[in-house]
Amino acid sequence: MLIPPPLPPPADTSRQYLVARPECILIELTNLCNLQCTTCARNDTYGKEMRKGSMDFDNVKRVVDEAARLTRRIVLIGLGETLLYRRLLETVDYIYSADPAIELSLTTNATLPESASTLAFICEKLKTSIMFSIDGTEQTYNTIRRGGSFDLFVKTTSTILRAAKAEAFSFNMVVFEDNYREMVPVLELAESLGVLAVNFNSLNLAALPHVPLAAYDFYDTAGFKAELNRAHRRALQLGIRLTTFDFETMGSFKKCKYPWDSFYITWDGFLAQCCAQPFPQRKHFGNVFELGILNCINSPEFIQVRKMWYENITPSICARCHKVRIPAITGIQHPIDPSARSRQGTQLTTIGGVINAPAYE
Ligand code: SF4
Ligand code: SF4
More confident residue, 340 or 67: 67
What average pLDDT does range 1-10 have in this prediction?
A: 63
Query: Which SS3 state, helix, strand or coil, does residue 171 take?
Result: strand
Are 317 and 272 contacting, i.e. CB atoms less than 8 angstroms apart? no
Q: Which ligand is nearest to the CA of 275?
A: 2
- Where is mean pLDDT largest: 118-132, 164-178, 220-234? 220-234
Which of 9-23, 286-300, 334-348 is least confident?
334-348
Q: Which SS3 state, helix, strand or coil, does residue 41 take? A: helix
Taking CA 28 as the corner, what is the angle to CA 345 and CA 289, rounded to the nearest 5 degrees? 125
Q: What's the 37 CA to ligand 1 centre distance in angstroms?
A: 6
Q: Which of 200, 201, 197, 113 shows the shortest CA–CA distance to 151?
A: 113
Min mean pLDDT across 5-14, 38-47, 325-334 is at: 5-14
Centroid of ligand 2 to alpha carbon of 211 (angstroms) = 17
- Among all bound ligands, the one having the nearest atom to the CA of 111 is 1
Residue whose Cα lies nearest atom 2 of ligand 2: it is 321
Residue 125, Cβ neighbours under 10 Å: how many? 12
Strand partners, 4: none
Question: Is 275 touching ligand 2 by the criterion CB < 6 Å?
Answer: no
Pick the residue whose CA is nearest to atom 6 on ligand 2: 256
- Quick check: CB of 189 below 6 Å from ligand 2? no
CA-CA distance, 221 to 252, in Å (whole number)?
21
Local confidence band at 320 (pLDDT 50, 70, 90 cut-offs) = very high
| pLDDT value of residue 343 | 38
Q: What residues are paired with 30 via a beta bridge?
A: 54
Q: Which residues are CB-contacts of 30 (< 8 A; sequence separation ≥ 6)?
A: 53, 54, 55, 78, 80, 81, 82, 84, 85, 267
Q: Using CA atoms, how far apart are residues 6 and 292, in angstroms rounded to an integer?
A: 8
Cα 290 to ligand 2 centroid, rounded to whole Å: 25
What string of DSSP letters covers 190-208? HHHHT--EEEEEEP--TT-
Distances (CA, A) of 264 to 24, 27, 271, 300, 326: 9, 6, 6, 17, 23
Residue nearest to atom 4 of ligand 2 (CA): 318
Q: Which is the closest atom of ligand 2 to the Cα of 305?
A: 5
3-state helix, strand, coil in the chain (%, to 5): 45, 10, 45
Rg (CA), the chain: 19
**Taking 50 as the threshold, does the pLDDT of residue 182 lie above it?**
yes
Which one of the ligands is nearest to 319 CA?
Answer: 2
Residue 358, pLDDT > 50, answer no
Percent of the chain with pLDDT over 70: 88
* Range in 80-94, 128-142, 161-175, 220-234 with the lowest mean pLDDT: 161-175
Write down the pLDDT at residue 164.
74
Residue with the nearest Cα to atom 3 of ligand 2? 318
CA atoms within 13 A on the CB side of 303: 16
Write out the H or E segment, with its range, that includes residue 103.
strand 103-108
Q: Convert the pLDDT of each residue in 43-66 to its tens digit.
A: 999 999 999 999 999 999 999 999
Atom of ligand 2 nearest to the CA of 314: 1
Judge if the beta carbon of residue 274 lies within 6 A of ligand 2: yes
Give yes or no for residue 107 CB within 6 A of ligand 2: no
Chain segment 303-316, per-residue pLDDT in tens: 999 999 999 999 99
CB 321 within 8 A of CB 205: yes
Quote the CA–CA distance of 268 and 24 in Å, as a whole number: 19
Report CA(79)–ligand 1 centroid distance (Å).
6
361 C-alpha to center of ligand 1: Å? 7
Starting from the CA of residue 35, give the closest ligand: 1
Rounded CA gap, 65 and 98, in Å?
6
Distance between CA 252 and CA 255 in Å, rounded? Answer: 5
Q: Element (H or E) spanning 174, and its range? A: strand 169-175
Whether the predicted pLDDT of 213 surpasses 60: yes
Q: Three-class SS of residue 212?
A: coil
Residue-level pLDDT at 121: 84
pLDDT of 299 strictly over 60: yes
Instruction: Output the CA–CA distances (angstroms, integers) from residue 38 to 108, 133, 142, 198, in the order listed.
Output: 17, 13, 10, 21
201 lines ligand 2 (CB under 6 A): no
Q: Pick the range with the lowest mean pLDDT from 14-18, 136-140, 177-181, 250-254.
A: 14-18
* Residue 117 reports pLDDT greater than 50: yes
Q: Which ligand is nearest to the CA of 173?
A: 1
Cα of 343 from ligand 2 centre, angstroms: 33
User: Which pTM does this prediction carry?
Assistant: 0.90
DSSP state of 109: -
Specify the pLDDT at position 352: 28
Rounded average pLDDT over 232-248 = 96
| Cross-strand partners of 263 | 25
pLDDT recorded at residue 360: 44
Query: How remote is the CA of residue 100 from the centroid of ligand 1, in Å?
Result: 30
Task: Kindly state the average pLDDT of the residues 116-140.
Answer: 88
Q: How far is the CA of 283 from the centre of ligand 1 (A)?
A: 21
Of 196, 183, 191, 71, nearest to 130 by C-alpha is: 196
**pLDDT interval class at 14 (50, 70, 90):** low
Give the model's confidence band at 335: pLDDT under 50 very low, under 70 low, under 90 confident, else very high: confident
Residue 338 has what pLDDT? 53
CA distances, 279 to each of 10, 29, 46 (Å): 26, 14, 7
Q: Round to whole Å and give the CA distance between 133 and 8.
A: 41
pLDDT at 15: 77
